[in-house]
Structure 1
């Protein structure tokens, strides 16, 4: 079996100008060891990482999204994958990368980093949330609210249950994921002093909320995320997300961000973990609030959804992915001998 190249070999190759007929990462029998893989879902999430870490080495991987056909890397062991948005793109792109044979991910820390809707009861636009629990919003039975039984507060309920307050059997095996507590706690602790970007538009918009975290400046928080291809919004659906998270995590989870990919991404990673290709205990999720998941008092639910761009959270949210994620990434890259063995206890 051929020995795998090291980052030292990569740097030597780079210094010589890559004069070999084929760059060694293009050879199928050689694998590039990766220390940190950041997974983005679309271009504006990836670009801040590409810029901040000078990810100038492009490695084309068959099977990735045609919009994002290459993985971007630097000489320090950091790479970025952009999957494309939604469950199908996320699952397909992650699977293609993990089985490409071009990389060694066996000791890699994987940071899924993307923007999200945010619950105003726990955060605000621009806030950055490390997730411990990841719950699927869409795996459910559904009745139109106009046709649901009297006394029900939602038409969504668990598959093979008799009503909204009954936890379903986890027959799909993808309904809920619990990430490594030690890594979540370490990421949260390292990023507490991160300086987060804000915007005048976000400041003006959050002032419309009467109280609570929604009115406060963005900060790094720890609360949990909800996945689903349908981009939901509104007070009742937001409340349902809170209740569903509590039900599916036996009361342990606190819903604060909503996004479209993470359960699909985690299932793809879980399957390659079973093959020994990655360590699932080294996966973290960072989601930043780009817009509120429900309106401020007096605002129409439909306006909260259709006019989400007026909230001023998009630019801070995309930039804060790096601002909040960088302390963890830098700690891993800067002290790889320790992190290589696992999450440090100190």
Structure 2
């Protein structure tokens, strides 16, 4: 079952304003203003920001969001901002916004193509010095109810591409295949493919992921009444538990999906490509494309790949509760009430990590501090 990203963007647009301006959202977002304590996005181009001697602006943390509300939650809390127009970014999000603490926020546009193009434009722009920058990819995602719940915030160690597979319609698959998916140039679903694309799976810096988790694991996350109702329909934990900060891995693919059987393939595919080390829990569109673009910049020493962290928060379940159809779960995902908490929890979880890096830059400048 296929659904284009524009569909979800349109639905989110109808819900985002109400959700993000509610009293609950306002309290949650203003209570943890970090670094500057100012919550306004404005042009601050006359404040004399530090620049590298080649003209590129030093950046301590670059926050990468994928669409408007994901970026706005940071813009509302870490300003004032200096907008920097970067050639090659999405026409919908043409600026990188930077504050006086050398924290910047950019939005790529949704999907593999937008993410790759925007990050390539950023990585090869001479307007920034990104050699010592920490990159925080922060976005919402579908979530496996066996690993988390709506509103949960997951730090990943592995990025796996779900789209680079062969696929047969399940009605035409061989009888002894449990799924219609199989790796490219394999003979069956259980065989690991040769990884000829070189983008099928990436391992992030585990030390950075562990540090981010340690810093944020005890934060109080946002929730909603609708999300509590949606959780209660599941008979097992952690799906029916309050949201928490967790560690598990993320799967990228531009085709949005829902269902028990595709969900089982997501788990199996993650284990297969990571040689049993990865644990699937969130599904999104962009992260392998984002990382590959950063990898291209790193190949010419413009970026340090050991400084990339990925945070995904659960906006909806990737499969139905018992008695619900996969179609109902997919088409009515917005009724799960996870969108507003997921957006808020990007900041509530990632904010303390950003604050730690900036406040103790002397300890982080040369790499992740050992603990």
Q: Report the TM-score range of the alignment, normalised by the length of the smaller protein.
A: over 0.9
Q: 1:314 is matched with which residue?
A: 339
Q: 2:177 is matched with which residue?
A: 152
Q: For residues 309 and 369 of structure 2, what CA distance do their matches in structure 1 show? A: 15
Q: Give the alignment of 1:111-130 within 5 angstroms.
A: 111-130=136-155
Q: Give the alignment of 1:210-249 within 5 angstroms.
A: 210-249=235-274
Q: For residues 323 and 55 of structure 1, what CA distance do their matches in structure 2 show? A: 19
Q: For residues 174 and 73 of structure 2, what CA distance do their matches in structure 1 show? A: 48
Give the TM-score normalised by structure 1: 0.92
Q: 2:131 is matched with which residue?
A: 106
The CA deviation at 1:212 is 1.1
1:80 aligns with 2:105: yes
The CA deviation at 1:97 is 1.0
Could you list the structure 1 runs, at least 4 aligned residues long, displaced by more than 6 angstroms after superposition: none
Cα deviation digits, residues 76-135 of structure 1 (max 9, x gap): 010011000000000000001111210000000000000000000000000000000110
Going from structure 1 to structure 2, the CA distance change for 1:30 and 1:208 (only over 3 Å counts) comes to same
Equivalent pairs, count: 328
SS at match of 2:176: coil
The CA deviation at 1:24 is 8.9
Q: 1:261 is matched with which residue?
A: 286
Going from structure 1 to structure 2, the CA distance change for 1:298 and 1:17 (only over 3 Å counts) comes to closer
The CA deviation at 1:18 is 3.0
Q: 1:194 is matched with which residue?
A: 219
Cα deviation digits, residues 246-275 of structure 1 (max 9, x gap): 011111110000000000000001111111
Q: 1:39 is matched with which residue?
A: 64
Q: For residues 80 and 366 of structure 2, what CA distance do their matches in structure 1 show? A: 25
Q: 1:3 is matched with which residue?
A: none
| Structure 2 unaligned regions, length at least 5 | 1-43
Cα deviation digits, residues 7-58 of structure 1 (max 9, x gap): xxxxxxxxx98399xx997x99511000000000000100111111115211
Q: For residues 154 and 17 of structure 1, what CA distance do their matches in structure 2 show? A: 55
Going from structure 1 to structure 2, the CA distance change for 1:157 and 1:238 (only over 3 Å counts) comes to same
| Structure 1 unaligned regions, length at least 5 | 1-15
SS at match of 1:64: coil
Q: Give the alignment of 1:25-36 within 5 angstroms.
A: 29-36=54-61
CA contact (8 A) 1:28 1:101 kept: no
Q: Pairwise CA RMSD of aligned residues?
A: 1.7
Q: 2:40 is matched with which residue?
A: none
Q: For residues 156 and 46 of structure 2, what CA distance do their matches in structure 1 show? A: 40
SS at match of 2:73: helix
Q: 2:46 is matched with which residue?
A: 18
SS at match of 1:213: coil
Q: 2:93 is matched with which residue?
A: 68
Give the TM-score normalised by structure 2: 0.86
Q: 2:25 is matched with which residue?
A: none
Going from structure 1 to structure 2, the CA distance change for 1:124 and 1:17 (only over 3 Å counts) comes to closer
Q: For residues 191 and 157 of structure 1, what CA distance do their matches in structure 2 show? A: 37
SS at match of 2:186: coil
CA contact (8 A) 2:150 2:314 kept: yes
